[in-house]
A and B are shown apart, each in its own frame.
Chain A
Amino acid sequence: MSTPAASAPVRRGRMPNLELPQKAQLPVAIAFVVLLIILPFFFAPGGSVMNNLVLAAAYAVMALGLNIIVGFAGLLDLGYVAFYAIGAYAMGYGGSLFLSELTGDKGFAVFVSGPAAELPGVHMNFLLILVLAIVLTTVAGMVIGLPTLRLRGDYIAIVTLAFGEIIGRIAINGDEIRLGNFQLTAGRQGITPVDKVQLPGLERFTSLDLRAWYWLALALAVLVLLVNFRLRDSRLGRAWIALREDEVAAASMGVPLVKTKLLAYGTGAAFGGMSGAFLASYTNTVNADQFQFSFSIFILAMVILGGLASIWGVVLGAIVLSVINNYLIPDVLNSVPQRLGLDFDLTEVTAGIFGFMLVIMMVLRPEGLLPERRRKLELEEGIGSDDAVYEARMA
């Protein structure tokens, strides 16, 4: 599954190499996915375990998207929340009462059956909304990418961060932006309720049975996973990796920088948008206050924890962090500080815990839990190398 150059045996790391042998990868992957598919039968269909599974799958989709931008192409994007927001608003526009002032009492329904079709506002089939979200976020990703084309390293980080914040601000203040009857966003009030997912040939999803949500999220995740693998081993994927390792060398080998970078932003953004639309429907709300910088960091932490550019690592990172965030911190460990005689709940410092994790990972195991081989090589060469050589290489 990796390129021939990368598959040369490398065992120089300080840490044990957790990577599976080449032959075992495909069967193990299939077994893993099958296990994930049958997982819901072991739990109550409406319980919190299912809820965590759904969220983990949805976050995995986002993390895999961000992995393309940060992991493959090496463009540190600190504004990934922008795509979550845009995807969520695609759902808000296309599947709620939000645009009812625009459509009048009749409403506007596309491939939707049941009571929702009769309601005011726009109600589109979820697949159409997914397409809408993908288109919007891809365009947004490229637009955000444009100003960063000639920049590098931390400047890219800052510009993407700025865009993320701008989108967040627009989401919060969007109720002031009006065009006739059209209001850009619902502001702090949020858009709620949002239509539940309806897929062709299936009944509308409900909040009582989370299994359907889980399978949908899992399907999205597997799709994105496949796309990730195929892209990584494609001409484009190799171009991304070349770009990450040495921009100047890549350009002189004929890699078109502008196109390659924009495609990385666009693809990564599209996955964020998909997941955003799904989460909006699942959580039944598009809440402007949730589109904050800390969410970008949450997703980034998944990528870092698992291992930059390592696809399975990112999946693992997404699962681990989403369990920590949605289960371990609020449900299990929340009262630990109280028991130690400290006057706070652990949920208050969730962001700090993730920050701590970022620092620890970077200092102790920068290649992540399941490192990608090529990436690991880069890191090992980088550490302790001659400064001048290093700078010429990384600049």
Chain B
Amino acid sequence: MEAATVPLSRSTSLRRLREAGGRYVLIALLLVLPVAYGIQDLSQTGNLSRLGNNLVDGLSNGAIWALVAIGYTLVYGIIELINFAHGEVFMIGSFVAAGFFGTIGLTAAAGPAGLLVGLVLTLIACMAASGVLNVMIERVAYRPLRGAPKLAPLITAVGMSFILQNVGLLWLGGSPEGIVDLIRSQEVFFTFAGVEVSNGDVLALAVTIPLILLMTAFIGGTRLGKAMRATAQDPDAARLMGINVDTTISMTFLLGGMLAGAAGLIYALYQTTIWYFQGFTAGLIAFTAAVMGGIGNIKGAVLGGFIIGFIQQISDNRIGSSWTPAVVFAYLVLIMVFKPSGLLGEQTREAG
């Protein structure tokens, strides 16, 4: 890959800057917002509880982004494609959750035990629906184009994303839909040093962390996980070793979709409003998270998810939520300029 970078090596001080420590520049950039607002808080109120609250909300938002980001990273790792439709898979997860509450008649009136059983059932339903959907997308839109120029599957991915968005639009209409607040997500669960941790925060982390651990164990420990890693490294060699590459790729999409489905459920419970457009923004935010951590790297995706969640929360809380997408995308561009391989990532071909 060195050959590819040679022609540009003469150009620009930018490259020198990157070599001098893109990672540190990136870390510094990431610290700008928290540090600036931390100082502002300290000088105005004398404590950091507002920043602490941002951090907690950020972590629970970040848990959702982390789950979605893993889907991007898995798929990118194995077929080097940005699955543009992944955000929509997440959205469909939320919709399935909302629909499933109605089907099994789950309301806030159910006791804690009933709620727990109901939510676990919903979780399974969401994960199954989103996982299967993701596999179908791969089958219809990406597999026929394997071996075609890079542009082709990317364009079908965008197309699929629009189709699914419209499915969501027809499903629940064009405006945000409120859903039943099953876990009273805004209610304070406990307070620690002036930082309020709400039910929603607890739920987000309680679902996300076990799922991520399970997934890492699956990829690290099972035969199929090994096949996935092998395919990611070299599809041809993997095929020669008797690995069914098509099945492995389908499994990767299934896993990614399942995590997105879980994220969809958490999002629905946490935000209590869902709408067809949530997947687009979420997809881009989660993609930013995946790139920030280093695409192809699962730990990186999780780390990136939490960081982006925090940044997003600070921006929502202090700059104004209508600016948040711009702030997140500005970070995306900055990462691309200074460290396209991300915080924990290896050099990839795409990132040069």
Is B162 a contact partner of A166 (Cβ separation < 8 A)? no
Residue of B nearest to A343 (CB): B170
A390 to B337, CA, bound (A): 28
**Complex interface: chain B residues within 8 A of A153 (CB):** 150-151, 154, 350
Is B284 a contact partner of A162 (Cβ separation < 8 A)? yes
- B235 in contact (CB, < 8 A): yes
A351 to B340, CA, bound (A): 31
Contact with B along A234-262 (1 / 0, CB 8 A): 00000000000001100110000110000
Question: Are A355 and B336 also in contact (CB < 8 A) when A304-B155, A379-B148 are?
Answer: no
Is A172 a contact partner of B322 (Cβ separation < 8 A)? yes
**Complex interface: chain B residues within 8 A of A358 (CB):** 155-156, 158-159, 162
**Complex interface: chain B residues within 8 A of A163 (CB):** 329, 333
- A104 in contact (CB, < 8 A): no
- B105 in contact (CB, < 8 A): no
Is B326 a contact partner of A151 (Cβ separation < 8 A)? no
- A344 in contact (CB, < 8 A): yes
Q: Which of B5-13, B33-41, B247-255 contacts A (4 or more CB under 8 A)?
A: B5-13
Is A351 a contact partner of B8 (Cβ separation < 8 A)? no
Give the Cβ gap from B348 to chain A, nearest Cβ, in Å: 9
- B141 in contact (CB, < 8 A): yes
Q: Which of A132-140, A207-215, A380-388 contacts B (4 or more CB under 8 A)?
A: A380-388
- B275 in contact (CB, < 8 A): no
**Complex interface: chain A residues within 8 A of B24 (CB):** none
- B349 in contact (CB, < 8 A): yes
Give the Cβ gap from B264 to chain A, nearest Cβ, in Å: 20
Question: Are A162 and B162 also in contact (CB < 8 A) when A251-B7, A378-B149 are?
Answer: no
**Complex interface: chain B residues within 8 A of A363 (CB):** 141, 144-145, 156
Is A157 a contact partner of B161 (Cβ separation < 8 A)? no
Name which of B149, B156, B325, B351 has the most chain A CB atoms within 10 A of its CB: B149
Name which of B6, B153, B155, B323 has the most chain A CB atoms within 10 A of its CB: B155
Give the Cβ gap from B347 to chain A, nearest Cβ, in Å: 11
Name which of B82, B152, B174, B287 has the most chain A CB atoms within 10 A of its CB: B152
Residue of A nearest to B161 (CB): A355
Question: Are A150 and B166 also in contact (CB < 8 A) when A155-B350, A379-B149 are?
Answer: no
Give the Cβ gap from A204 to chain B, nearest Cβ, in Å: 37
Residue of A nearest to B15 (CB): A150
- B160 in contact (CB, < 8 A): yes
Contact with B along A271-301 (1 / 0, CB 8 A): 0000000000000000000000110010010
**Complex interface: chain A residues within 8 A of B7 (CB):** 248, 251-252, 257
A159 to B352, CA, bound (A): 14
**Complex interface: chain A residues within 8 A of B333 (CB):** 147, 159, 162-163, 166
- A233 in contact (CB, < 8 A): no
**Complex interface: chain B residues within 8 A of A161 (CB):** 284
Is A148 a contact partner of B336 (Cβ separation < 8 A)? yes
- A60 in contact (CB, < 8 A): no
A352 to B149, CA, bound (A): 24
Is A169 a contact partner of B154 (Cβ separation < 8 A)? no
- A28 in contact (CB, < 8 A): no
Is B82 a contact partner of A154 (Cβ separation < 8 A)? yes
- B165 in contact (CB, < 8 A): yes
Contact with B along A153-189 (1 / 0, CB 8 A): 1110111011101100110110010000000000000
- A197 in contact (CB, < 8 A): no
Complex partner residue of A351 from B144, B155, B165, B336, CB under 8 angstroms: B165
**Complex interface: chain B residues within 8 A of A39 (CB):** none
Give the Cβ gap from A348 to chain B, nearest Cβ, in Å: 6
Q: Which of B145-184 contact A (CB under 8 A)?
A: 145, 147-156, 158-163, 165-167, 169-170, 174
Give the Cβ gap from A96 to chain B, nearest Cβ, in Å: 24
Residue of A nearest to B352 (CB): A150
Is B165 a contact partner of A352 (Cβ separation < 8 A)? yes
- B241 in contact (CB, < 8 A): no
A148 to B335, CA, bound (A): 11
- A142 in contact (CB, < 8 A): no
Is B350 a contact partner of A154 (Cβ separation < 8 A)? yes
Residue of A nearest to B146 (CB): A387
Is A355 a contact partner of B350 (Cβ separation < 8 A)? no
A74 to B329, CA, bound (A): 23
**Complex interface: chain B residues within 8 A of A388 (CB):** 236
Residue of A nearest to B326 (CB): A169
- B332 in contact (CB, < 8 A): yes
**Complex interface: chain A residues within 8 A of B235 (CB):** 387
Is A352 a contact partner of B147 (Cβ separation < 8 A)? no
**Complex interface: chain B residues within 8 A of A151 (CB):** 336, 340, 350-352
**Complex interface: chain B residues within 8 A of A166 (CB):** 325-326, 329-330, 333
Question: Are A352 and B82 also in contact (CB < 8 A) when A304-B155, A359-B141 are?
Answer: no
**Complex interface: chain A residues within 8 A of B95 (CB):** none
Question: Are A152 and B8 also in contact (CB < 8 A) when A169-B322, A169-B323, A358-B159 are?
Answer: no
Contact with B along A295-327 (1 / 0, CB 8 A): 001001000100010000000000000000000
Residue of B nearest to A296 (CB): B158
**Complex interface: chain B residues within 8 A of A257 (CB):** 7-8
12 further A-B contacts with Cβ under 8 Å, apart from A352-B165, A366-B145, A366-B152, are: A74-B151, A76-B151, A147-B333, A147-B336, A152-B350, A153-B151, A158-B287, A297-B158, A358-B162, A378-B149, A379-B149, A387-B147
Q: List 24 A-B contacts (CB under 8 A).
A: A74-B151, A148-B336, A152-B349, A154-B80, A155-B340, A162-B329, A162-B333, A163-B333, A173-B320, A176-B320, A257-B7, A258-B8, A258-B12, A300-B158, A348-B170, A349-B169, A351-B162, A352-B166, A359-B156, A359-B160, A362-B155, A363-B141, A366-B145, A382-B148
- Interface, chain A (partner B; CB < 8 A): 70, 74, 76, 78, 147-155, 157-159, 161-163, 165-166, 169-170, 172-173, 176, 247-248, 251-252, 257-258, 293-294, 297, 300, 304, 308, 344, 348-349, 351-352, 354-359, 362-363, 366, 378-379, 382-385, 387-388, 390, 394-395
- Interface, chain B (partner A; CB < 8 A): 3-8, 11-12, 15, 80-82, 140-141, 144-145, 147-156, 158-163, 165-167, 169-170, 174, 235-236, 280, 284, 287, 291, 320, 322-323, 325-326, 329-330, 332-333, 336-337, 340, 349-352
